[in-house]
Structure 1
């Protein structure tokens, strides 16, 4: 159930507007309010939700490579100065296309509750893309969860940050961005991607020292 809530929150934040072509004559999509195009993109975004250490490191990358926005350093610090990387980390396996975890059980919960609809493009035996449609009831459920369950609302806040970090990057760009991390790249196929918490914390300390410790 926790996986289902996490994915629902992530789909709600990452969804793009649906078009008439998306819906076509599919009655099950009549109340669709958004769509996440491709399982690969969903998996890559989910990796950052599930691995706060990698997320914080990406925030540091954007800080160093950009205009050194202090907000990015503050957000990375809030993650790495806390126990979040230890308490919230939920490792994923590495396969040919990067971080992966079977989402079928969690998505089945969302489909049975008429919150999300999955549609595959291609032909039997050769699926070229899987899209995830958020229904109106799904959006209403995310709002209810945020109102009534403070602990679960964390997923909504984190999904917002992850989607903002990803910007308009597609699945391939996100995959390539995550492969830059040596630990991720060198993980054997089928093994769990290891933590980079200590490296990220050391990096944060070095950046703060270079900035004169201006950002606590």
Structure 2
């Protein structure tokens, strides 16, 4: 496969993942949004933070364990255990690089695919210094596409499940607060700029096992 074809496929996969995250994480559209909008994420920082947890299911599981301990709810521990027990987890994570403000990747090409197919609307607000706010709206067309083309497909169901779980983490928190939460994890914070954020899979598995033993 040629390099250009590989890049195109990766970009299409990124677009599908972002579409599913927007569907599961976005808040309900309001009267101020486009008439055909159904869900909205109004911050690129928040979008990237939620995407990080979808791409790193071990970090997502760790957050669910935190929630289980904080709330005394075994359901969140069970959700974490299902993620960690998934046989595909060892190769199904999608690495991200840490830049100045944390995990980041250039979303523009994937967003352009979604916009050009009318699956989402992208509504940036500008200031003198550039884009002041990024606003992403899932359209009715995008919602119909998810239900008709992506539902019941194994790899997409896995992404959708992770997005659903990522939406449970401080659902009303702004993106900056979500980034603070991610920086509280030592491995994330200590990753040097320009390097790939490492997996924590084995450590999180041990933590889940320890918490389970304490709760028995």
TM-score (norm. length: structure 1): 0.88
Moved over 4 A (4+): none
Deviation at 1:209, TM superposition (A): 2.0
Deviation at 1:136, TM superposition (A): 0.9
Q: Where does residue 13 of structure 2 map in the other structure?
A: 2
Deviation at 1:148, TM superposition (A): 5.4
Deviations for 1:16-57, whole angstroms, at most 9, x for unmatched residues? 2333334xxxxxx34222211110000000000000000011
Q: Where does residue 190 of structure 2 map in the other structure?
A: 186
Deviation at 1:154, TM superposition (A): 2.2
Q: Distance in 1 between matches of 2:212 and 2:92?
A: 24
Q: Distance in 2 between matches of 1:181 and 1:148?
A: 34
Q: Distance in 2 between matches of 1:62 and 1:10?
A: 20
Q: Distance in 2 between matches of 1:21 and 1:210?
A: 49
Q: Where does residue 104 of structure 1 map in the other structure?
A: 108
Q: Where does residue 32 of structure 1 map in the other structure?
A: 37
Deviation at 1:191, TM superposition (A): 1.3
Which piece of structure 1 moves more, 35-44 or 165-174?
A: 165-174
Q: Distance in 1 between matches of 2:154 and 2:89?
A: 19
Where do 5+ consecutive residues of structure 1 fail to align? 23-28
The partner residue of 2:121 within 108, 113, 117 is 117
Q: Where does residue 51 of structure 1 map in the other structure?
A: 56
Q: Where does residue 200 of structure 1 map in the other structure?
A: 204
Q: Distance in 1 between matches of 2:82 and 2:25?
A: 23
Deviations for 1:127-151, whole angstroms, at most 9, x for unmatched residues? 1111111111011111113435333
TM-score (norm. length: structure 2): 0.88
Distance 1:121 1:64, change over 3 A: same
Equivalent pair of 2:56/2:95 in contact (CA under 8 Å): yes
Deviations for 1:113-136, whole angstroms, at most 9, x for unmatched residues? 111111211236421111111111
Q: Where does residue 5 of structure 2 map in the other structure?
A: none
Q: Distance in 2 between matches of 1:143 and 1:166?
A: 26
CA RMSD of aligned residues (A): 1.6
Mapping for residues 87-102 of structure 1, pairs under 5 Å:
87-102=91-106
Q: Where does residue 181 of structure 2 map in the other structure?
A: 177
